[in-house]
Homo-oligomer: A and B are copies of this chain.
């Protein structure tokens, strides 16, 4: 069934709001533009989709709209991780029913101290066993305070329903070891755009990158250059990408990411409270960073 290749660049799509409601029309418009790029697929209901701020009916509607907007040849990843194992399984199969190709399952994290490597192993195996679609592990310690170490990932890579991982730790040493120790064919995506190029060097198949919401072409270009063996040029483009990539996630959060989308011709809008929209100073910095990339954006 899943002959779709997992690689390339995917944005964890943002969720547009109009007042208190989700602006589904705007989401569709974003997809129309993204679909014209070389993005290999989309992550729906990821961190940057503000999934933690959406009710379950809203989540379902977002999946439905995304399913309709995403062409069959592009991957549709859906974030389905919950704190409880049973709920994660239930919602993963709900996403499967709604047409997701693969589920991205974050580590549970509220009880950090109890999330040992063994507990995580058992959780992911239980989900993989019960899920009707293949899953991708999601390691994002800066949000969760929980880290999946390479031996754990290597062990999980043997499970036939676990296709890969999105590692957003930003730690290239760890990423490199995950790739080396895991089964052949295990798909490792990097989650930090600032290390996209070195991640490819150590063997990542692609990136799931917030900044790809704003600058899909620049992100996919780096992967292309790498695949063509054009290391110098890939590194140069990485250096162009890094400042804006840093701004729209680490520094200015989702407010910053959405502001950048607005400037780049997508619909960003405001995040949900308690998050705030980017202030004037942040906006001005982001605008300047995008300005400096005009030559690439035009191309």
Assess whether B273 is in contact with A84, with CB atoms less than 8 Å apart. Answer: yes
In-complex Cβ contact of A176 among B87, B113, B195, B254 (8 A): B195
Q: Contact at B198–A176, with CB atoms within 8 Å? A: yes
Residues of B near A203 (CB, < 8 A) are 235
Determine whether the beta carbon of B173 is less than 8 Å from that of A194: yes
Q: Is the CB of A119 within 8 A of B274?
A: yes
User: What number of A residues sit within 8 Å (CB to CB) of B?
Assistant: 55
Other-chain contact of A202, B114, B197, B250 (Cβ < 8 Å): B197
| Known contacts A52-B83, A120-B274, A173-B192; A254/B143 CB under 8 A | no
Among the stretches A71-79, A104-112, A154-162, A284-292, the one at the interface with B is A104-112
Q: How far is the CA of A122 from the CA of B272 in the complex (A)?
A: 13
| A142 CB-CB contact with B under 8 Å | yes
**Do A87 and B53 touch across chains, with their CB atoms under 8 A apart?**
yes
Count of chain copies: 4
Q: Which of B145, B192, B197, B255 contacts A145 (CB 8 A)?
A: B145
Q: B198, A273: Cβ atoms under 8 Å?
A: no
Q: Which of A237-275 contact B (CB under 8 A)?
A: 238-239, 242, 250, 253-255, 272-275
Q: Is the CB of B253 within 8 A of A86?
A: no
Whether, in the assembled complex, A177 has its beta carbon less than 8 Å from a beta carbon of chain B, the answer is: yes
Contact A239 B273, beta carbon cutoff 8 Å: no
Q: Is the CB of A123 within 8 A of B84?
A: no
A20: interface (CB < 8 Å) = yes
Q: Does A276 contact B (CB under 8 A)?
A: yes
Is A115 on the interface with B (CB-CB < 8 A)? yes
B180 touches A195 (CB 8 A): no
Q: Looking at A87, A110, A126, A194, which has the most chain B CB atoms within 10 Å of its CB?
A: A110
Q: Chain B residues with Cβ under 8 A from A250's Cβ?
A: 113
Additional A-B contact list (6), CB under 8 Å, known A119-B274, A176-B238: A47-B110, A108-B274, A114-B255, A122-B276, A123-B273, A198-B202
